[in-house]
A and B are shown apart, each in its own frame.
Chain A
Amino acid sequence: MKKKCKSKINLLKKVTGHGLFTMSLLICISTNANANSRDETLVIVSGTSINSLDIHRAGTNRPSYQVAINMYDRLVSFGIKSEGEGNLKSDSTQIVPELATHWESVDGGTAYIFHLREDATFWDGTPVTAADVKWSFDRAVSLGGFPTVQMKAGGLSSPEQFEVIDEHTFKVIIGEANKLTLPDLAVPIPMVINSKLALQHVTKDDPWATEYLHKTPAGGGAYMLERWVPGQQLIYKRFDGWKNGDLPAMSRVIVRDVPSSSTRRALVERGDADVALDLPSKDVKELMSNPKLKVSSSTIDNTLHAIGLNLNFDPFSNPKVRQAIAYALPYQQIFDVAAYGLGKPMWGRESSKAESALWPQPFPYKTNIDKAKALLTEAGYQKGFSVPLSMNLDFAQWMEPTALLIQESLGKIGIDAPINKIPGASWRTKALVEKGLELHMKNFGGWLNYPDYYFFWAYLDGHLFNSMNFKSDEMKSLVDVTLKMSVDAPEYSTNVKRMIDIATDEVPMIPLWQPTLDVVMQKNVSGYVNWFHRQLDIRSFSKE
């Protein structure tokens, strides 16, 4: 027995001795072998799993939006611009054709006519017609929930607004000119479904075939479904008859669910995965210096990580107290510790008034404890007060360190801020519906990249993302006139600048930073685009 054990120990010694050498050899062998067999296959590891193949269904989660993007087409899409350092980003100012080859605004801007590509077909070979587009749009505005709300944002709320002119001509009637309509047709929701196929699976209780489309996509997009094993993987295969764009380079794409971020990191570092999603900022920062990998990190349009101050809480009804908090936050520390320096700082602007209509833009506040104390004294709160600081556990990664830093800093001006951790399932009710959280961390991003759209959701009384209960008549009238106005209109930029100034002076919400979307991939993978919807558009990927 002892002898056996000794020889085992010797073996172990040998193993560790040769370990380093074998390791490097193994890495070489395995990556080479993989590269040859996987030239046309892209392997993506993702932290969250897809729960439906139908974006219109109630309860479909965010990662499932990728199915709408890659398996279905829309009438139009956004262009792509370079963000520097090889990063690509969707460009919401540029609307490009997808299923529609061209379109025109008619009836004085109150309607659009779309001309569909005549040779476009669905996967089963049936041609895509205006009737399919109408059925799909009718479905989006009729099902209720998220698709209906999103369609409404573009001024589309009733099936009467969609008209089939002929087989390949489709009309959208909006009633009054609205700059949001066309961009809203480029978001994932208004996708075109194969209505003839779907209608075969309609039942009396289910007139929109939600049960069928939940598990069986019926589209004409660049990728088809090869396999979906819920909770494990989704495999796409290319639709070679796709006409609505350049044929994608990858013939097969595997999206594998890997819940642990450490495992995802190990997989991409070892070269077993081509693309790793949802890595924590800390890992992204570290992997940036890895010569074998490529990291794309660029800001998400129209999105902010911020602190909300609820005006229903007595001390916060005084703007001086809100400004005092804005001067008391340790911005730089938060940015370094919680965001690892990834993102765009949103504090410390030099000019006190907005000089451009750019949004998001930094607010003029910076850390100044003396000024914060003086403002509190002016407001009559020199003795301070106590206010719970609420955070959403779903976003603990950035909210937890931020909360601790804020707590410490507010302590310096006499404000006691115990941290209140709220589970994700009840966050929405407490923060957005009941709007009862006094001091809280929030993140909101608008899909349509217009400042007035952000202000519409986050600064108007009663609107969902105004968790601060902020009321301002001037803001309301400004947003009302600006929302549908074209960005070229002469008053547009003046109005937006005024909105930003109100948001700055009244400061119901204190922006911290504009977050980034980070994706880590192998050096030979290219074509990643940072889309406003934050999901992967696999159609543009290629591998060398």
Chain B
Amino acid sequence: MLYDKIQLIIKRLMLAVPTLFGVLVISFCLTRALPGDPAVYFAGAMADEASIQHVREKLGLDRSLPYQFLAYCNNLLNGELGQSLTTGQSVTYEIKARLPASLELTLLGLFMGLLIAIPLGILAALKPNTWIDHLCRVLVTAGASTPIFFSGLFLMFVFYYLLGWSPSPIGRLDFIYLEPPHVTGFYTIDALIIGDYEVFKAAFAQLLLPASTLALCALAPIARMTRSSMITALESEYVKAAKANGISTNMRVYVYALQNASLPLLTVIGLVFGFLLGGNVLVEKVYSWPGIGSFAIDALVASDYAAIQGFVLIMAVLFVTLNLIIDILYTLFDPRMGRNE
């Protein structure tokens, strides 16, 4: 059984290699197909023909496309993602600094979403058409229909501007604190590692509002999926059989039904996580969060090739890993998985 699972994991990892290479080629070609000439853009408004050519040569854009691609692959093998022109830093530095920021925010947002959505979905499934089911419905509809930039601005308006409960939305940490030394890149965890509770509190306070915004957004699909898959599970034969055998309600609901209901739920959580990580640009902008999403958007606007390619590549790696983790979790939750093969 364990051997089966390891084999499955290795197979999945092997499959990821051609996927990543495909992503590499496509992102390379697509960035080149973007309108605009980065050399012209970065030479500045006052530059003349000679200085544009100078920048072009410096960026290696005067070479043929296949040459540029090989050079890019060669750099990648050496662990270099190139220089971002918009931010003036190496793409590796940017990703190292920004990915943890986005991950910290997204994970907390997702966690908060799960914390509310799953119990809510279960309760709604246990008592369909009661007030809790209606509450679930209202929350799901509101969460799905409120655009993220609106809920972000609204929360900021109420909790920062009007009430003053939240710290000023100027990024990961107020300027009176110094960020903790880089270990994981998650400020909250890094602060705990060195035992600086004040910085932990400050970093956590900064996280709360943007994470709540994301949680609102994540809530809808998760609660809906929990409710429907729980209803299906509760009505299925094996739960009825368990009831007939006198197995306790808690056992039936939280072990038998929930375990089976968690399979579609897991898929949805994976999807929502990916969506939140790549799509929280608006939250990042509103809360001045130095995350990966706003980096990618700025790079796209400026046709910043290295930055876009680096972003796409990292996201591809993340998604492949995420899918892998979900597949592994599947095999844990569902005994049928991995055995038939």
- A residues sitting closer than 8 Å to B (CB atoms) are 19, 22-23, 26-27, 30, 37, 43, 45, 49-52, 57-61, 64, 144-146, 148-150, 214, 229-233, 235, 254, 256-260, 262-263, 266-267, 269-270, 272-273, 423-426, 428-429, 432-433, 464
Contact = CB atoms under 8 A, between A and B. Distances in A.
B90 to A, nearest CB: 10
Contacts of B287: 260, 263
Interface in B139-188: 153, 156-157, 160-165, 168-172, 175-176, 179
B42 A230 contact: no
Contacts, number: 159
Contact of B88 (A19, A59, A260, A428): A59
Nearest to B55: A58
B338 interface: no
A19 B163 contact: yes
Contact of B98 (A231, A424, A428, A464): A231
B315 to A, nearest CB: 18
B202 interface: no
Given A258-B288, A428-B45, A433-B40, A270 B168 contact: yes
Chain A to chain B: the 7 pairs with minimum beta-carbon distance, closest first: A425-B36, A51-B88, A426-B36, A59-B42, A26-B164, A146-B44, A145-B51
A30, A57, A233 interface centre (most CB from chain B within 10 Å): A233
B51 A45 contact: no
A19 B159 CA distance: 11
Contacts of B55: 58-59, 145
Interface of B: 34-38, 40-48, 50-51, 54-55, 58, 85-89, 93-94, 97-98, 153, 156-157, 160-165, 168-172, 175-176, 179, 284-288, 290, 294-295, 301-303
B206 to A, nearest CB: 12
Contacts of B41: 424-425, 428
A23 B163 contact: yes
B161 A270 contact: yes
Contacts of A146: 43-47, 51
Given A266-B157, A270-B164, A429-B40, A58 B46 contact: no
A477 B93 CA distance: 52
A64 B85 CA distance: 13
Contacts of B98: 231
A181 B273 CA distance: 58
A235 B178 CA distance: 12
A542 B128 CA distance: 64
Contacts of B163: 19, 22-23, 26
Nearest to B35: A426
A23 B164 CA distance: 7
Nearest to B164: A26
Nearest to A58: B55
A424 B37 CA distance: 10
Contacts of A60: 44, 88
Given A230-B87, A231-B290, A270-B168, 5 more contacts: A49-B87, A58-B55, A144-B50, A262-B156, A270-B160
Contacts of A144: 50-51, 54
B35 A258 contact: no
A232 B290 contact: yes
A434 to B, nearest CB: 10
A425 B38 contact: yes
A231 B295 contact: yes
A231 B44 CA distance: 20
A43 B175 CA distance: 9
Contacts of A260: 285-288
24 contacts: A26-B163, A30-B164, A43-B175, A51-B88, A58-B43, A149-B46, A230-B89, A230-B94, A231-B87, A231-B94, A231-B97, A231-B290, A258-B171, A259-B284, A259-B294, A260-B288, A262-B286, A263-B156, A266-B157, A270-B160, A272-B170, A425-B38, A425-B303, A428-B45
Contacts of B164: 23, 26-27, 30, 270
A234 to B, nearest CB: 11
Contacts of B97: 230-231
A58 B286 contact: no
Contacts of B165: 26
Contacts of B34: 425
A262 B160 CA distance: 12
Contacts of A254: 175
B223 to A, nearest CB: 17
A60 B48 CA distance: 16
A149 B51 contact: yes
Contacts of B172: 232
Given A52-B88, A145-B43, A231-B97, A259 B169 contact: no
B178 to A, nearest CB: 9
Contacts of B38: 425
Contact of A258 (B37, B170, B179): B170
Contacts of A59: 42-44, 55, 85, 88
A232 B174 CA distance: 11
Contacts of B36: 423-426, 429
B131 to A, nearest CB: 8
B37 A426 contact: yes
B292 to A, nearest CB: 11
A148, A254, A428 interface centre (most CB from chain B within 10 Å): A428
Contacts of A19: 162-163
A432 B157 CA distance: 42
A153 to B, nearest CB: 8
A269 to B, nearest CB: 7
